[in-house]
Structure 1
Amino acid sequence: MSTVLLEAAGVRKAYGPTDALTAASLRVCAGEVVALMGPSGAGKSTLLHCLAGIVRPDDGTVRYQGEDLAVLTDRARSALRRTDFGFVFQFGQLVPELTCLENVALPLRLNGERGRASAKRAREMLAELGLADIAGRRPGEVSGGQGQRVAVARALVTSPRVVFADEPTGALDSLNGEQVMQLLTTVARERGTAVVLVTHEPRVAAYSDREVVVRDGRTRELEVIR
């Protein structure tokens, strides 16, 4: 049986008088891809942020490898996001002043790795993802699809246990979106990395092992035949 990495139980989160989550529960195992689906405003991104320790739930628990994230200090949660967690966002959020190589190396540098060693690992990661030829270019000099693949490389370069992807193909056309999802899920599965994916697109969710619908702040797992 696969190891449970992340587990949310009865998570509630409100912003003022509005409940974003009312009773959300979810388990994520090592090496699996889980898609969080649902309409806009259903609470998908809020659940993702709770799972990643960015947002503290008002009630319920989120455990990573059995440890309650709520009892960790802000520094400890930040450290997890630099080492054990990777992130891919809708618009990549690459630093425009840095080259693609420097963007991929950035998480390593933030962890205190030396420049030459971090550059070597970043170059290897770009090569693994077929991006070696754009290492010296800046984000504004590459296509949207290439930029998003660089963001995937940045998320994976620290060898995280979990990658959180929030609408990672939302700003891409269908072809580039398919390429990004194939790349992300293939590399993650090869490395035994779990992926928690927020999307409202069935074609993107089709890359997952499980689909969980978030609606009215609650979660419901779909039975999907692959």
Structure 2
Amino acid sequence: MTRTDSAESTGPLLTATRLRKTYGPTAALNGAEFTIDSGEIVAVMGPSGSGKSTLLHCLAGIITPEGGTVHYRGHELSAMSDAQRSKLRRGDFGFVFQFGQLVPELTCAENIALPLRLAGTNRKEAESCALEWMARLEVDDVRSKRPGQVSGGQGQRVAVARALAARPRVIFADEPTGALDSLNGERVMELLTTAARETNAAVVLVTHEARVAAYSDREVVVRDGQARDITSATAGIA
């Protein structure tokens, strides 16, 4: 396990308040709010260019908003040093991207072990953990192959295994099925959400597909730079 194990804070696991981020004259985020608890899966939806990926990057500390705050376990991300945020992304945060972003020169098993090795885990333990997750994600048969030698569905499952190997508290999944056919996409989502629930990890799931959002506990729509929890908004309608 490489995530930080300092004393637990009370309240939501991850919270964003009044986020603002612009690109030139365009406001990607304009007062966006967001919250997620441990073990919760939240789908972030919206049309292309609505700011949903920008919201994810702010929540993960990849980019710094021009206004507003992001708190993780009670600590403000913008108040952390670059080294502290990098440590979070190696341990507490896991990432799954649309095209996997695996290292082509490494085998699939080595790709999964890489974040663990960077976090200081010894080689034998990292490799053992990688093989365990490959078995759970049903890709142990491609352990010695490189990413270019496997199918898109297999590669994305390797990416999911890489994200889960460090047992992160939050998984950021940005269009994780966008490059897959419907059958492979469904299987990736089944494996991702099942593993996340087993480890009590929160999942921030950016998607534009309703069938993918259906795996979430609730849905947040980003539009005009703001985020609205549509699940809560419709829950009271009889």
1:91 aligns with 2:85: no
> Contact 1:31 / 1:188 at 8 angstroms: preserved in 2?
yes
> Contact 1:212 / 1:219 at 8 angstroms: preserved in 2?
yes
Alignment partner of 1:215 out of 220, 223, 226: 223
Alignment partner of 1:31 out of 11, 24, 39: 39
In structure 2, the residue matched to 1:81 is 89
Deviation, structure 1 residue 139: 0.8
In structure 1, the residue matched to 2:165 is 157
Deviation per residue, 1:107-147 (Å, 9 max, x gap): 00111222112111111111122221111111111110000
> Contact 1:3 / 1:30 at 8 angstroms: preserved in 2?
no
1:143 aligns with 2:151: yes
1:125 aligns with 2:112: no
In structure 2, the residue matched to 1:183 is 191
In structure 2, the residue matched to 1:72 is 80
- Unmatched segments (≥5 aa) in structure 1: none
Tell me how many residue pairs correspond in the alignment: 224
Given the two structures, how large is their TM-score scaled by the length of structure 1? 0.97
Deviation, structure 1 residue 3: 5.2
Q: Distance in 2 between matches of 1:119 and 1:60?
A: 40
- Percent of aligned pairs with the same amino acid: 65
> Contact 1:21 / 1:218 at 8 angstroms: preserved in 2?
yes
Q: Distance in 2 between matches of 1:196 and 1:7?
A: 12
Q: Give structure 1 regions of 4+ aligned residues with deviation exceeding 2 angstroms.
A: none
Q: Rate the CA distance shift 1:149–1:3 in 2: closer, same or farther, 3 A.
A: farther
Deviation, structure 1 residue 104: 0.3
Deviation, structure 1 residue 16: 2.2
Q: Rate the CA distance shift 1:3–1:189 in 2: closer, same or farther, 3 A.
A: farther
Q: Distance in 2 between matches of 1:116 and 1:183?
A: 25
Q: What is the letter of the counterpart of residue 42 of structure 2?
A: V
Deviation per residue, 1:60-83 (Å, 9 max, x gap): 110000110010001100110001
Q: Distance in 1 between matches of 2:110 and 2:11?
A: 34
Q: Distance in 2 between matches of 1:26 and 1:98?
A: 36
Deviation, structure 1 residue 17: 2.1
- Unmatched segments (≥5 aa) in structure 2: 1-9
For 1:7-18, list aligned pairs within 5 A.
7-18=15-26
Of 12-21 and 78-87, deviating more is 12-21
In structure 2, the residue matched to 1:56 is 64
1:170 aligns with 2:197: no
Q: What is the letter of the counterpart of residue 123 of structure 1?
A: L
Q: Distance in 1 between matches of 2:67 and 2:140?
A: 45
Q: Distance in 2 between matches of 1:203 and 1:113?
A: 37
Given the two structures, how large is their TM-score scaled by the length of structure 2? 0.92
Alignment partner of 2:51 out of 29, 43, 55: 43
